[in-house]
Amino acid sequence: MQRGKLRTIGYHVARWVVVIVFAVLLAFPFYWMLITTFKKTADLYTLENNPFIFNLPPTLEHLRLLFGQTQYMRWVANTALVGVIVVAITLVLALPAAYALTRLTGRWGQRIGIGIFLTYLVPGTLLFIPLSRVVALLNLQDTIWSVVVVYPSFTVPFSIWLLMGFFKSIPRELEDAAMVDGLSRLGAFFKLVVPISLSGILTVVIFTFTLVTQEFVYALTFISPESQQMLGVGVPTFLVRGDVYYWGSLMAACLIASIPIAILYNLFLDRFIAGFTVGAVK
């Protein structure tokens, strides 16, 4: 009995040690962004100062520089705009496709679905060279429209996959009953299936939006002017002048962009993960 109790205590202590050590290591860069954001330049660049504390009083100078003298807000706006349009394109393409593949195409639906999911594995770093030519041909280079056109190529496959999981859980009898009542197949899709799948659709919306904010390679390849940048590329490219890193403003830019995206993603995380583990977890 005594041994069992000791073991339980040992287990609890070990668990806390593991959780705290990992949480500190993994979250440390974000804590570092936070503290750097509010430190005076003189404080940041004095080697003798303890970097973990404020040796001089905190300051807002880096935030003022970021919002006043850079195009940061422009990049935020570009990213938000691209995000909204890509979400719309993704829903228009993925919703009907996912429904058709779960309900209307028989056993081929599942196979095509797996095929579409596999295209999600084809990375941007394999496609960006030919795509840069395609984007130039379409005369879209150096505008946000280049990424608006290209991003659905990776948001649609994963969204179809997620939505297929959702549609499968809707009982067929519901749609059959609606069609007995006079709705056409398409009517049943719009008036019945779409409304009861709202939580699945919301998952796709958040997932697509966060993927857009996280993408780097295409935005770096297709867009060069400062005013047309997406967040992820604008911050590391244009907050560095030559060899001078404005670390205070840079860290502020990273932190301010990361936290809202992280919170959004976190809310829907379990559903995204379900998309990755379909087939392995039953």
Partner 1 sequence: MAIGESQAPAGAVGVSTPPPLAAGPRVPWRRTPEGRARLLGIGMFAPAVLYITALIGVPFVLAFVYAFTDVKVGSTSFHWVGLENFRSILQSPSFRRALANSFIFTTISQVLVIAGSTTLSLALRDKFHGRGFARFLILLPWVAPISLGAIGWKWILDSLYSVINWVLVGLHFYKPYSAPMWLGEPVLAMASVILVHTWRLLPFSTVILLAGQTAIPKDIPEAAEVDGAGFWRILFQINIPMMLPIINVAVLFGIIFTFTDMTVVYILTAGGPFDSTQVLPSLAFFTGILAGDLSQGAAISLFLVPILVIVAYLMLRMAHRAETS
Please report, as residue ranges, which positions from 11 to 70 form the binding site for partner 1 (by CB under 8 A).
11, 14-15, 18-19, 22-23, 25-30, 32-33, 36, 44-45, 47, 50-52
Q: Quick one: 82 or 253, whose CB is closer to partner 1?
A: 253
CB 86 within 8 A of CB 208: yes
Binding mask 87-106 for partner 1 (x = CB under 8 A): -----xxx-xx-xxx-xxxx
Sequence letter at residue 238: F
Out of 78, 141, 232, 249, the only residue in the binding site for partner 1 (CB under 8 A) is 232
Sequence letter at residue 137: L
Candidate segments 64-72, 138-146, 195-203, 232-240, binder of partner 1 by CB under 8 A: 232-240
CB of 5 to partner 1, least distance (A): 14
Q: Quick one: 145 or 247, whose CB is closer to partner 1?
A: 247
CB of 25 to partner 1, least distance (A): 8
Binding of residue 244 to partner 1 (CB under 8 A): no
Q: Quick one: 69 or 184, whose CB is closer to partner 1?
A: 184
**DSSP H helical ranges for 100-123:** 107-119
Q: Quick one: 96 or 165, whose CB is closer to partner 1?
A: 96
Residues 113-172 close enough to bind partner 1 by CB under 8 A: 114, 116, 118-119, 121-134, 149-150, 152-153, 156-157, 160
CB 102 within 8 A of CB 168: yes
CB of 131 to partner 1, least distance (A): 5
In 3D, which of 150, 143, 155, 158 has the Cα closest to residue 230? 143
| Residue 46: C-alpha distances to residues 51, 52, 129, 251, 265 (Å) | 9, 13, 44, 18, 37
Q: Quick one: 2 or 50, whose CB is closer to partner 1?
A: 50
CB 158 within 8 A of CB 114: no
For residue 240, what are the β-bridge partners? 245
Residues 166-225 close enough to bind partner 1 by CB under 8 A: 176, 179-180, 182, 184-186, 210, 213-214, 216-217, 220-221
CB of 179 to partner 1, least distance (A): 7
Contacts of 156 (CB under 8 A, 6+ apart): 89, 90, 93, 94, 97
What is the rounded distance in angstroms from the CA atom of residue 143 to the CA atom of residue 48?
Answer: 46
CB of 57 to partner 1, least distance (A): 20
Residues in the interface with partner 1 (CB under 8 A) total: 105
CB 231 within 8 A of CB 76: yes
Q: Quick one: 162 or 250, whose CB is closer to partner 1?
A: 250
CB of 238 to partner 1, least distance (A): 12
Contacts 24+ apart (CB under 8 A), 68-77: 70/238, 70/239, 70/249, 71/226, 71/227, 71/229, 71/234, 71/238, 72/234, 72/235, 72/239, 72/253, 74/227, 74/229, 75/229, 75/230, 75/231, 75/234, 75/235, 76/231, 76/257
Q: Quick one: 82 or 149, whose CB is closer to partner 1?
A: 149
Q: Quick one: 73 or 262, whose CB is closer to partner 1?
A: 262
CB 165 within 8 A of CB 270: no
